[in-house]
Amino acid sequence: MVRLAFLCLGLLLCAPLRAALPMQAGGEPLPSLAPMLERVTPAVVNIAARNQIRAEEHPLLSDPFFRWFFDAPGRTPRHKSRQSLGSGVIVDAARGYVLTNHHVVSKADQIEVTLHDGRKLTAALVGADPETDVAVLRIEAGALHALPLGDSQQLRVGDFVVAIGNPFGLSQTVTSGIVSALGRSGLGIEGYENFIQTDASINPGNSGGPLVNLRGELVGINTAILAPSGGNVGIGFAIPMNMAKAIMDQLVAYGSIDRGLFGITVQGLNPDLAGAMGLERSEGVVVSEVQPGSAAGRAGLRPGDVIVAVNDAPVRNSPEMNVQMALLRIGDRVTVDVVRAGERLRLHARIADPYADYLPGEGIHPLFAGALLGEVERGELSGVAVGRIDRESPVRRLGLEDDDLLLVVNERRVERLSDLREIMESARRIRMVKVLRGNRLITRIVR
């Protein structure tokens, strides 16, 4: 009886606590994101990307004499599996397209997608773009739910947004915040940056997940955080949906992004520079250099022109200009609005192939099959430039990437394609390469 009385007393004491959280206040329902999230979360998926990497072995095991002496001539290299976790969002239920980040699925041998209802599916990579960190996957399943796409151009600082993903492997985690800033760039995260900044908590595992507005529309793809202390400090970044969709459409149509060459160097237009040029507004970018014979040169652009629009999309600063250029493929027609000597002009160009003069790598040596090679000069350095590389090219095993400038092979200087051909004719294998990648000089020992 005492125990029963205690239980009853406990229930009586709990009742007022439950009553303190009413579903309504003053006859009005309490605000809640739950109805919107019930529509959105079925479109959010968990992504597990696995790849096999060669395990590090003792250096003696790579010596042929050592293997022969100890009777281990056919030793099979040991491998270990590596897995990365991330998030994604279904954007096309009929065709099974899932949008995520490139870095979530980079170099994956197998990609597994877990749906909201627990189904596990093997995904195929449709295409990926490292420069914008966008990737598209395809899954085959019925009863999929897709998110409606929002217009990220309509976002304003202060708008409420919600981030959904699988941080630290915790599935279907929801955080909320506001748009803290728009057009963030210069962070060194990606090649083309025009981020939405938000204080909605984004953590490892959120990458590739959706950023939605309060209508449940997809307005961004969560991609990175600024974490000086290693944890979330309320500064997260998402790829604007308008940019992600443009990249996605090209990946679906072509499987890759073949960016062309326009041939200009630009700088931002600040108020001081605008005043010196006699301009009333400081919006746009100033052309500082035009490459001779380039698409821009043939279109008639000149140093000192102020670009204010590309394909009728306003250009207010350098990041916006870079983003517009990032969406253009080889052969695309582009219309550029410029201000020259106070007069607004409209110029027309066709994006050129930056690798038009490059040669197939197999013409140099079979090891370079699947890559394009050309002779270029970057500043005072001359070398063999690596153009586009096929995904399965043996060149990738050397650690080379698109647009690397090959300077040294096996401790011999490479300035021309003839130098590389001569080295490969006399060498049994490549032991070392030295390349210029961006502004970094990289030396790689090939085992």
81 is catalytic: no
| The model's pTM | 0.74
pLDDT at position 53: 61
Among 231, 254, 277, residue at a domain's last position: 254
84, 87, 102, 133: the catalytic one is 133
180, 201, 207, 393: the catalytic one is 207
Measured CA distances, 93 to 58, 154, 268 (Å):
49, 25, 41
Instruction: Let me know if residue 237 belongs to a domain.
Output: yes
**Residue 417 and residue 132: Cα distance in Å, rounded?**
31
pLDDT at position 24: 58
Least confident of 67-81, 110-124, 357-371, 416-430: 67-81
Instruction: Let me know if residue 328 belongs to a domain.
Output: yes
68 burial (CB, 10 Å; 0-12 / 13-18 / 19+) is exposed
What tokens does 335 get?
Answer: 């219309």
pLDDT tens per residue across span 57-67: 555 555 554 55
Instruction: Let me know if residue 58 belongs to a domain.
Output: no
Residue 168, pLDDT > 90, answer: no
Residue 300, pLDDT > 60, answer: yes
pLDDT tens per residue across span 373-382: 998 877 778 8
Residue 101 near residue 223 (C-beta atoms within 8 A):
yes
Task: Give the CATH number of the domain where residue 227 resides.
Answer: 2.40.10.10
Residue 136 near residue 127 (C-beta atoms within 8 A):
yes
Among 254, 285, 312, residue at a domain's last position: 254
185 is catalytic: no
Among 320, 350, 380, residue at a domain's last position: 350
- Which is higher by pLDDT, 230 or 244? 244
Query: How many structural domains are present in the chain?
Result: 3
84, 87, 102, 103: the catalytic one is 103
DSSP state letters, 96-122: TEEEE-HHHHTT-SEEEEE-TTS-EEE
Question: Does one domain contain both 159 and 245?
Answer: yes
pLDDT tens per residue across span 31-89: 888 999 999 999 999 999 888 665 555 555 555 545 555 555 555 555 566 677 899 99
Instruction: Show the domain range for 418.
Output: 359-445
**Residue 277 and residue 300: Cα distance in Å, rounded?**
20
Question: Does one domain contain both 375 and 323?
Answer: no
Instruction: Let me know if residue 72 belongs to a domain.
Output: no
Instruction: Let me know if residue 416 belongs to a domain.
Output: yes
Q: Which residues contact 132 (CB under 8 A, 6 or more apart)?
A: 102, 190, 191, 192, 239, 243, 244, 247, 257, 326
Task: Give the CATH number of the domain where residue 281 resides.
Answer: 2.30.42.10
180 is catalytic: no
Question: Does one domain contain both 311 and 287?
Answer: yes
Question: Does one domain contain both 282 and 337?
Answer: yes
